[in-house]
Amino acid sequence: MIGIKTKEEIEIMAEGGKLLSAVLRKVSKMVKPGISTKELDSAAESLIFKSGAKPSFTGHMGYPATLCTSVNEEVVHAVPSDRILKEGDIITLDIGLIWEGFHSDMAVTLPVGKINPETARLVRVTKKSLKRGLKKVRPGNTFGDIGNTIQRYVESQGFNVVRDLCGHGIGRELHEDPQVLNYGKRGTGPEIKEGMVFCIEPMVTLGSWKIKKGKDGHSYVTQDGSLSAHFEATIVATKDGYRLLTPLGALD
């Protein structure tokens, strides 16, 4: 069942989203050649606790860190390690926190130093696909409208959307109903209603959309080793459209 959040709950989630955006903005500025993904995770953890919130991911389904640091062919959920970022890499920072009992969740893909033009285009297209999906959020539309818009745009650019992972509802639990697919048919799926809070998060690949489990036991990677980008925002459906609860990552 898809829950409808009260005005009070939405304001709490908006506060949490602002805190999370501030944390991610600071960690994003640390991304450069020579830094380890573990250093990024340590900074994220410290900043979240300093804000008065708690990390959402730590301990969730056994996940051992605050931040997901997915590099190059890693699609999502890669565990921070001693891996050193190098010039030309791309890294997805996926992060969540709990504020007054409610979760917020967001992700961005960033260049490490200078990246090649096609990689940069992959990142731009993924971010733009999220923006296009957001435009379909309004009462009376369906979740299939969101997925269809994302898929058609991504494929028109010569890339692919991952099928086996998706966005999700969010609130007192990190993952709630509904599933928010990044592909599909118009007019299918649940109807969007005012007060629904959920995450849209297109995951886009340079090659095949097929994925497999990574060696760390938590991550997913592209089967063909191609690059992947990922952007995520937490939003609430309003009577006229949507309100972005995590400002960084979607429209910045």
- The answer on pLDDT for 198 being more than 80 is yes
Beta strands in the chain (DSSP E): 54-55, 67-71, 74-76, 90-99, 102-111, 160-161, 167-169, 176-180, 197-200, 203-205, 211-213, 220-222, 228-230, 233-237, 242-244
What integer is the mean pLDDT of 198-225?
Answer: 98
Tell me: pLDDT of 228 over 60. Answer: yes
pLDDT higher than threshold 60 for residue 249: no
Q: Give 42-59 pLDDT, tens digit per residue.
A: 999 999 999 999 999 999
pLDDT on residue 107: 97
Nearest to 16 by CA among 130, 174, 134: 174
Share of the chain above pLDDT 70, in %: 98
pLDDT at 1: 87
Contact 92, 68 (CB under 8 A): yes
Task: Provide the percentage of residues in the chain whose pLDDT is more than 90.
Answer: 97
- Output the six-digit token pair for 98: 């709990």
Element (H, E) at 132: helix 117-134
Please determine, for residue 28, whether its predicted confidence score (pLDDT) is greater than 70. yes
CATH code, residues 7-244 = 3.90.230.10
CB neighbours of 252 closer than 8 A, spacing ≥ 6? none
Q: Mean pLDDT, to the nearest integer, of 64-87?
A: 98
**Is beta strand 197-200 parallel, antiparallel or unpaired with respect to 167-169?**
antiparallel
Model's pTM, two decimal places?
A: 0.97
Rounded to the nearest integer, the mean pLDDT of the chain is: 97
Domain boundaries, given as residue ranges, for the chain: 7-244
Instruction: Output the CA angle 4-93-79, nearest 5 degrees.
Output: 105
Answer yes or no: is pLDDT of 94 > 60: yes
pLDDT per residue as tens digits for the range 127-186: 999 999 999 999 999 999 999 999 999 999 999 999 999 999 999 999 999 999 999 999
Instruction: With cut-offs at 50, 70 and 90, classify the pLDDT of residue 252.
Output: low
Structure confidence at residue 248 (pLDDT): 76
Closest alpha carbon to 5 in 243, 216, 229, 249? 243
Nearest to 15 by CA among 246, 197, 248: 246
- What pLDDT is stored for residue 251 in this prediction? 53
Residue 100 pLDDT > 80, yes or no? yes
The dihedral of CA 8, 199, 93, 58: what is its sign?
A: positive
Q: Identify residue 74 by its one-letter amino acid code.
A: E
Higher per-residue pLDDT: 21 or 249: 21
Task: Give residue-wise pLDDT tens across range 2-19.
Answer: 999 999 999 999 999 999
